[in-house]
Structure 1
């Protein structure tokens, strides 16, 4: 038995491979660096779902169908009453997704891919007293998300950056939320049920809740000159440095480099606060130096949350919505794993070891 099921093999998958020793992520036979360079959200979605649904399709077809699905789910925003809008964005989004029909078919999958992309921007606008913006079926998913969030057509660099983020976090092995989706799928409960279970796991701070606190840390540090002293004092207090270290990766998280690269066109075109980006670079350098000095036998490097925080802040998402944005990108991975598990047809039913008291002898 291993606590946390660490290193336990619980599934065979053709979807993604995470090599923590080499710092490598492969999705359907394609390395992450190639995917981020060439793929859009629709492209990686088509790649992940290929062969798992009842129909085959190309990226262009999926883009058209997904655009229509966004328009179709927008009507559910009417259910966002005051009680729902008082919830954190990810909880409000989950409540709206729970209203969608359940099933195993492709139309259900399309609704689930479209719903988070529509619901989150609408919820954020309603929570700040603004009117939701209807989807534009002529746009790809990333561009439409930003338009529905801000009310303005995004720049080419902004759309490319969000696409890169959605591609980067589309799938990542058998993490907690993905495992939850597979467990539910193994009961034949349906795709909506699987996504709701995964979303519930994602909101936990040990899984999907770290990008926002990275910004809190940057705010507290304030200046590049204060990075070293602040980080050292935090470690002296026994605090964790947000955005550093990962349970799987023993080297640098490849997703961190992908997102750092996605920020470069925004920085070059003046669409990122230069002081903010300089602070992030200084904090990264100082943290790596301090961690190496204090924990030489325990490799701790930048993880995906560090540059996720800067990228999503730059694109206009408030930090309380970061978990919801992650869900927009990861839903396709949850769906692919749910379908893969459902097609396997076997119920996931591990055993436990009883360590409680035994009955008294007669």
Structure 2
């Protein structure tokens, strides 16, 4: 066999001619005709043609409702999200009216199935506070070494490294897994913020690492640790807290939570499970969508001269769908959802506060552009594509705007999502361990014909 010419060390990070050749073979031999999915009745994305998910499990944790029965028929309705049977709108209204932060109260509800009383709430708070710490030298040995430009990768690395510090890392009993989950819920904000500072330090910025305060809520600690002057407003903390609550869980079928169930069913440890969920959430079609929305609007603002001109905005949206604008993917990010058809309750809640925040921050014009796109996008999509249900703004549509007005760095948009969703992942992992005893293994139909092996000299 001909010996390959020696390459320089940087070839490891380059698309070489050899890689391009192999990639052509890969694309040639991995393509499956789309009509075969219909022929064999394969539910692509584990959803039918109407977008309804294939039933893969049972859960008590949360419910996503987007339809109702009218005259014996299932019809679309305004979306509702339930945590342990409680409507998310009632939960948010409850803690806002009571004047307290909601993260710990709703985390308690998702993990344990009941709303806490005052004594239980205090005990849970103290439990999380005592776990707001990282192993000795962890910041130096793990977070500060080779920090990634993507915080989701940094966090996955941190979570996997915590395995080595845990003497009972592989114990999958409910008490031990709960201990691990509570640790991760408490440690996540620190790993997220410290990882962000470590990367900025590598890029030449000043380094400052602040310990979390036992007297502050989760959202207050995130803002305090993130900012060099440690200052934040009450409105900022309340909005971030509400964002965390809205992102905590979304049924068992969303990609990262289903990943949690799948990986948990294999019998693996908590750290590997959470790292897998993180990998899922990072994707731009899942948790990374809020960054895509923000970048899409930045591109829109650069190419649309009059943000109030409906025709000009409509044309840009058409260009998006025709793969002529932004990233040429043919998507209007933040519009549409796998479940909701009329409205996303999380987006509805966000929208009320977005308008208020925009007025306080002097961003009314920008909010107006978002509102215009929210109104026009469903019309444009319906004209261009065959859709089986309604198209609405999802939670990612407004969350990016909220985070930008809160002066949060885009690098932390998806990690903030993860800081909330790790509560839901924990609840679902515990539920899977308690109730399921089989590894999740769906079937794939093989299409390749059987072949006889041919010796190399005869090929």
Give TM-score, length-normalised by structure 2: 0.72
**Contact (CA 8 Å) 2:147, 2:199: kept in 1 or not?**
yes
Q: Which residue of the other structure, out of 339, 344, 349, is the alignment partner of 2:435?
A: 344
Q: Are 2:71 and 1:9 aligned?
A: no
**Contact (CA 8 Å) 2:317, 2:332: kept in 1 or not?**
yes
Q: Are 2:161 and 1:161 aligned?
A: no
Q: Which residue of the other structure, out of 98, 101, 104, is the alignment partner of 1:42?
A: 104
CA separation in 1, counterparts of 2:370 and 2:219? 25
**Contact (CA 8 Å) 1:150, 1:316: kept in 2 or not?**
no
Give the count of matched residue pairs. 355
Structure with greater Cα Rg: 2
SS, match of residue 250 in structure 2: coil
Q: Which residue of the other structure, out of 139, 157, 163, is the alignment partner of 2:216?
A: 139
The offset of 1:161, in angstroms, is 0.6
Matches within 5 A, 1:1-362: 1-6=42-47, 7-21=53-67, 22=77, 23-39=79-95, 40-50=102-112, 58-72=120-134, 76-80=138-142, 84-100=146-162, 101=166, 102=169, 103-104=171-172, 105=176, 106-129=178-201, 130-151=207-228, 152-173=230-251, 174-222=253-301, 223-224=306-307, 225=309, 226-237=312-323, 239-268=330-359, 270-271=360-361, 273-294=363-384, 298=388, 299-352=390-443, 353-358=445-450
Q: Which runs of 5+ in 2 are unaligned?
A: 1-41, 48-52, 68-76, 96-101, 202-206, 325-329, 453-459
SS, match of residue 64 in structure 2: strand
Between 1:251-260 and 1:289-298, the stretch displaced more is 289-298
**Contact (CA 8 Å) 1:171, 1:330: kept in 2 or not?**
yes
| Residues 114/272 of structure 1: CA separation in 2 closer, same or farther (3 Å cut) | farther
Give TM-score, length-normalised by structure 1: 0.89
Summarize deviations over 1:113-164 as a string: whole Å, max 9, x none: 0222111111112222222221111111111111111232321111111111
CA separation in 1, counterparts of 2:263 and 2:322? 42
- Aligned-CA RMSD value: 2.4
CA separation in 1, counterparts of 2:396 and 2:242? 14
| Residues 137/82 of structure 1: CA separation in 2 closer, same or farther (3 Å cut) | closer
The offset of 1:182, in angstroms, is 1.1
CA separation in 2, counterparts of 1:58 and 1:160? 22
| Residues 73/15 of structure 1: CA separation in 2 closer, same or farther (3 Å cut) | farther
